[in-house]
Structure 1
Amino acid sequence: MKLKSVWFHIGFWIIYTATFTIVEASYKGKYTEALTFELINLPMRLIVVYFNYFILLPRLLLQGKTVKYFGITFLTLIVAGFIQRIFNYYTLSFLNPGLPDNGIWIFYKFLQASVIIASPLIFIIGISAIWKVSELQKRAKNLENEKLQSELKYLKSQINPHFLFNTLNNIYGLSLDNSKKVPGLILKLSDFLSFSLYESNQKFIPLTKEIALINDFIELEKSRFEDRVEVNFSVSEEIGSVDVPPLIFIPFVENAFKHSLKNETGVARIDISLKKEGQDLLFNIRNSKPNTPVEETVKHGIGLENIKRRLNIIFEEGYELKITDEESQYGVLLKIYLRS
């Protein structure tokens, strides 16, 4: 038993004994007599309570053997009440020879002794049960939080390897042509990977960092597709200081590039906007759809299920995600209810 628990039990018995002494003495005003009676009953109470607490409770009740637990507890109280009644009779007769003698075999006296022993048992087992349930709930919550945090780390670590592979291939191709773009693209890719590996471990980051990441991503993708794609990314000035989960918008941007350019013979268009509307943060992205139909629908794009799961874990009901799939364009509207 932990020291904290020991002090709890000591405190319980002091308060319990004092309370019942005062209650009993209030009828006759005999505090010494009431305290003597409580102390006479105390040893049997301790035996029954801690037999139940250390043996019956963990071995029966907490193991789901409820009927057996209550059956043995009831039998224990009957036996203890019988012993206590006999002990009380001879002890009180010895201490107070002048008391009227109505005999030892009085049924309600045996019942009274059992109830006197049962009262602290009900209190302490009830408190202990609530305590243990609270600890189990706390442990379950901690385990759930650990599970969610592990899942979040896993989900955030899922950077699309195709993006990395294609970007490196593109930089390699540009380097063969001695392109002046190579140093800048390598720096942007380095920043992107550094962010993904380190800063993404945080639960929330400043929106400005996420915007910089999106810009780097767009530049890296535009370096691959050049004049095949037109991107417009606008951020409203009134956004101010806002925190968001890291890598929360990138999967949508990645999907927009993938699905607007796949099988596209003309110029694809992607429009992205970030703005505040009251206390809400609105991220809106729309991309054109290729003239040639794509067999795989954008609804099964990269990271979409990943991002939905992350949003559910972090925000629960604090967001809205609306996806529109029209004939000529595909859109995503993500509304996040900002924390106060």
Structure 2
Amino acid sequence: MKIKSIWFHIGFWIVYTAIFTIVEASYKGKYTEALAFELMNMPMRLIIVYFNYFVLLPKLLLQGKTVKYFVYTILTLIISGFVQRIINYEVLSMLYPNMKDSGLWLPYKFLQASMIIASPLIFIIGISVIWKVAELQKRAKTLENEKLQSELKYLKSQINPHFLFNTLNNIYGLSLESSKKAPELILKLSDFLSFSLYESSQRFILLEKEISLLNDFIDLEKSRFEDRVDVQVSIPEHIDPISIPPLILVPFVENAFKHSLKNETKIAHIIVKLEVINNQLIYEVINSKPEATVEDSSLKGIGLQNIKKRLDILYNDRYQLDIKDEERVYTIVLKIMI
């Protein structure tokens, strides 16, 4: 038992004995006799309380064996009450004859002795249970935070390879055509790798860094598809130093390119809007849908599923994700309270 805990227990018994001595003496005004009575009950109280505290509480109650705990507690109180009743009767008869009462074997006298011993037990066990519950809640919160951090790392590890896979496909397609754009794309890919190694490991990054990554991604996709896609980007030139989770904006645009251009023979249209109004980031991505849409473009991709999980973990109820899947247009609107 730690030193602080020992002093706590000593202080408890001093205060407890003093209070009950005053209460007992208030009936007759005899403080010496009241103190003697409390001290006579002290040894049995200590035995019962600490047997319960060190044995029954950790081995039964805290292990979920509630019925057994109460059965053993009641049994120990009955036995201790029987013993204490005899001790009180004999000792008081010798030391304070005027305090001697009649009827040693009266049942209610034994019940009274048991309740006198049980009174400090109620306080000690109540405080102990509250203390243990507080510790368990603290431990549970710590484990939950560790679990959330592990899950975030896992989700990020899924996002990065998924994103790089698509980018490498873009470069591969251009290299087959011996395009002069390939070196530029390789340079941009190195930026993505740098971002993946140094920025995505952080829980939050500056919004302007995420926007820079977003613009690079759009340039990569436009280089790949050229005249097949029309992209309109509306992002303010000056952004306040706001922090958001890394790799949170790109997957929505990635989803837009994927589904607007799949099996599309006409020009696909993508609109990307971002603004910050009244401490709220509003991010909107709109893409056209091919006439013969075979696949539902809802949030089924690995990247977008992970984004939603990350938003749930990081923002809980401080974000809103609205998805509108119409016949020819697919819209995602993300709102985050900054």
TM-score calculated relative to the size of structure 1 = 0.89
Q: Which residue of 2 aligns with 1:315?
A: 315
Q: For structure 1, which segment, 208-217 or 227-236, has the greater mean C-alpha deviation from structure 2 after superposition?
A: 227-236
Residue 238 of structure 1: CA displacement? 7.5
Aligned counterpart, 2:44: 44
Aligned equivalents of 2:74, 2:302: Cα separation in 1:
63
Deviation at 1:263, TM superposition (A): 1.5
1:258 is displaced (CA, Å) by: 0.9
CA-to-aligned-CA distance 1:51-108 (integer Å, 9 cap, x gap): 1122222222233332222122112111101111111222223322454553533433
Distance 2:175 2:87 in 1: 96
Could you tell me which residue of structure 2 aligns to residue 334 of structure 1? 334
Stretch deviating more after TM superposition (280-289 or 1-10)? 1-10
Q: Which residue of 1 aligns with 2:136?
A: 136
Q: How does 1:269-288 map to 2 (within 5 A)?
A: 269-288=269-288
Question: Does 1:261 find its partner at 2:264?
Answer: no
- Please report how far the alpha carbon of residue 325 of structure 1 lies from its aligned counterpart in structure 2 after TM superposition: 1.7
> Which residue of 169, 174, 186 corresponds with 2:172?
169
What letter is aligned with 1:43? P
Aligned to 1:21: 21
How do residues 173-322 of structure 1 correspond to structure 2 at under 5 angstroms? Answer: 173=176, 176-177=178-179, 179=180, 181-236=181-236, 240-291=240-291, 293-299=292-298, 300-322=300-322
3-state SS of 2:200 partner:
helix
In structure 2, runs of 5+ residues without a counterpart are: none
Matched AA of 1:295 = V
Q: Which amino acid aligns with 1:317?
A: D
Cα 1:43–1:168 change in 2 (3 A) is farther
- C-alpha deviation, 1:144, in angstroms: 2.1
CA gap of 1:334–1:35, structure 2 versus 1, over 3 A, is: same
Q: Which amino acid aligns with 1:134?
A: A
Deviations 1:180-205 (A, max 9, x none): x4554333222222222332222222
Partner Cα separation in structure 1 for residue 205 and residue 320 of structure 2: 20
Question: Match of 2:139, as an amino acid?
Answer: R
Unaligned 5+ runs, structure 1: none
Q: 1:301 to 1:75 in 2, by over 3 A?
A: closer
Distance 1:190 1:9, change over 3 A: farther
Q: Deviations over 1:1-58 (max 9, x none)?
A: 4444434333322322222223223344443333322222111111111111222222
Q: Distance in 1 between matches of 2:5 and 2:115?
A: 26
Residue of structure 1 in register with 2:81 after alignment: 81
Shift in Å, 1:224: 1.9
Q: Give the aligned partner of residue 95 of structure 1.
A: 95
In the TM superposition, what are the counterparts of 1:146-157 in structure 2 within 5 Å? 146-157=146-157
- The amino acid that maps onto 1:192 is F
Contact 2:284–2:331 under 8 Å retained in 1? yes
**Partner secondary structure for residue 209 of structure 1:** helix
CA distance in 2, matches of 1:87, 1:205: 73
* Displacement after TM superposition at 1:170 (Å): 4.8
Query: Structure 2 counterpart of 1:276, which letter?
Result: V
Distance 1:309 1:233, change over 3 A: same
Q: Give the letter for the 2:294 counterpart.
A: E
The 1-side partners of 2:120 and 2:87 are apart by 19
**Quick check: 2:261–2:268 contact (8 Å CA) kept in 1?**
yes
State the Cα distance separating 1:285 from its structure 2 match.
0.5
Q: Take 2:15 and 2:196, find their aligned partners in 1: how far apart are those partners?
A: 58
Separation in 2, partners of 1:12, 1:201: 50
CA RMSD after TM alignment: 2.4
Cα separation, 2, equivalents of 1:43 and 1:141:
40
* Count of matched residue positions in the alignment of Structure 1 and Structure 2: 334
Task: Name the CA distance, whole Å, in 2 between partners of 1:11 and 1:167.
Answer: 74
Tell me, yes or no, if the aligned pair for 1:152 and 1:310 is still in contact at 8 Å: yes
1:248-288 CA-to-partner distances (Å, cap 9, x unmatched) read 11111110111112222232221101112333211000112
Residue identity opposite 1:85 in structure 2: R
